[in-house]
Chains A and B, each alone.
Chain A
Amino acid sequence: MTTTDTHADAARATLLTSGLGNPSRGRAVRDQLARVVMWLAFLLAVIPLVWILWTVVSQGAHLLLESKWWTHSQRGITSRYPGGGAVHAIQGTLIQAGVTALIAVPIAVMTAIYLVEYGRGKFAKAVSFMVDILTGIPSIVAALFIYALWVTTLGFQRVGFAVSLSLVLLMIPVVVRSTEEMLKLVPNELREASYALGVPKWKTIVKVVLPTAFSGIVTGVLLGLARVMGETAPLLILGPYTKSIAVDLFSGLMPTLPTMINQDRTELGQAAAVERMWGAAMTLILLVLLLNLAGRLVARFGSVKK
Chain B
Amino acid sequence: MSTITGVTAADETPTPSPGSPLGGDAAGTGRLGDRLFGGAARGAGLLVIALVTLIGVFLLWQAVPALARNEANFLTSREWVVAGDHPRFGIVELLWTTVASSLIAMAIAVPVGVCVALFITQYAPRWLSRPAASLVDLLAAVPSIVYGLWGVLTFRAAVLPVEQFLQDKLGWFPLFARTGISGGTIFFIGIVLAIMVLPIVTALSREVFAQTPVTHKEGALALGATRWEMIRTAVLPFGRPGVISASMLALGRALGETIAVTFIVSTLARGSDWSFSLFNGGETFASRIANNAAEFDSPQKTGAFIAAGLVLFILTFIVNAVARVVIERRKAFTE
| Tally of B interface residues using CB under 8 Å | 119
Q: Provide the residues of chain B in CB contact with A33, threshold 8 Å.
A: 228
A202 interfacial contact with B, CB 8 Å: yes
Residues of chain A in range 15-56 having any CB-CB distance to chain B below 8 Å: 15, 21, 23, 27-28, 30-31, 33-35, 37-39, 41-42, 44-46, 48-49, 51-53, 55-56
A275 interfacial contact with B, CB 8 Å: no
B268 interfacial contact with A, CB 8 Å: no
Contact of A51 among B34, B150, B323 (CB under 8 A): B150
* Of B49-57, B77-85, B179-187, the one with at least 4 CB within 8 A of chain A: B49-57
Cβ–Cβ contact B256 & A107, under 8 A: no
Among A4, A116, A195, chain B packs the most CB atoms within 10 A around the CB of A4
Cβ–Cβ contact B36 & A111, under 8 A: no
Alpha-carbon gap, A148 to B222, bound state (A): 62
Q: Provide the residues of chain A in CB contact with B28, threshold 8 Å.
A: 200-201
Alpha-carbon gap, A75 to B221, bound state (A): 67
Q: Provide the residues of chain A in CB contact with B23, threshold 8 Å.
A: 120
Closest approach, in angstroms, between the C-beta of A33 and any C-beta of chain B? 8
B94 interfacial contact with A, CB 8 Å: no
**Which residue of B has the minimal Cβ distance to A299?**
B1
A273 interfacial contact with B, CB 8 Å: no
Across chains A and B, the number of contacting residue pairs, with CB separation under 8 Å, is: 332
Alpha-carbon gap, A120 to B115, bound state (A): 38
Closest approach, in angstroms, between the C-beta of B29 and any C-beta of chain A? 5
B175 interfacial contact with A, CB 8 Å: no
Closest approach, in angstroms, between the C-beta of B4 and any C-beta of chain A? 8
Cβ–Cβ contact A261 & B202, under 8 A: no
Contact of A169 among B19, B51, B126 (CB under 8 A): B51
Cβ–Cβ contact B8 & A180, under 8 A: yes
Q: Is the interface of A mostly helix, strand, loop or mixed?
A: helix
Alpha-carbon gap, A113 to B312, bound state (A): 31
- Contacts A8-B227, A45-B112, A184-B19 given: A202-B145 contact, CB under 8 Å? no
B224 interfacial contact with A, CB 8 Å: yes
- Contacts A1-B122, A34-B228, A141-B55 given: A177-B33 contact, CB under 8 Å? no
Cβ–Cβ contact B226 & A23, under 8 A: yes
Residues of chain B in range 123-149 having any CB-CB distance to chain A below 8 Å: 123-124, 126, 129, 132, 135-136, 138-139, 141-147, 149
Write the residues of chain A forming the contact surface with B, with a CB cutoff of 8 angstroms: 1-2, 4-5, 7-8, 11-12, 15, 21, 23, 27-28, 30-31, 33-35, 37-39, 41-42, 44-46, 48-49, 51-53, 55-56, 106-108, 110-111, 113-120, 123-124, 126-127, 129-142, 144-145, 147-149, 151-153, 169, 172-174, 176-178, 180-181, 184, 188, 191-192, 195, 200-206, 219-220, 223, 226, 229-233, 236-237, 258, 261-262, 265, 277-278, 281, 284-285, 288-289, 292, 295
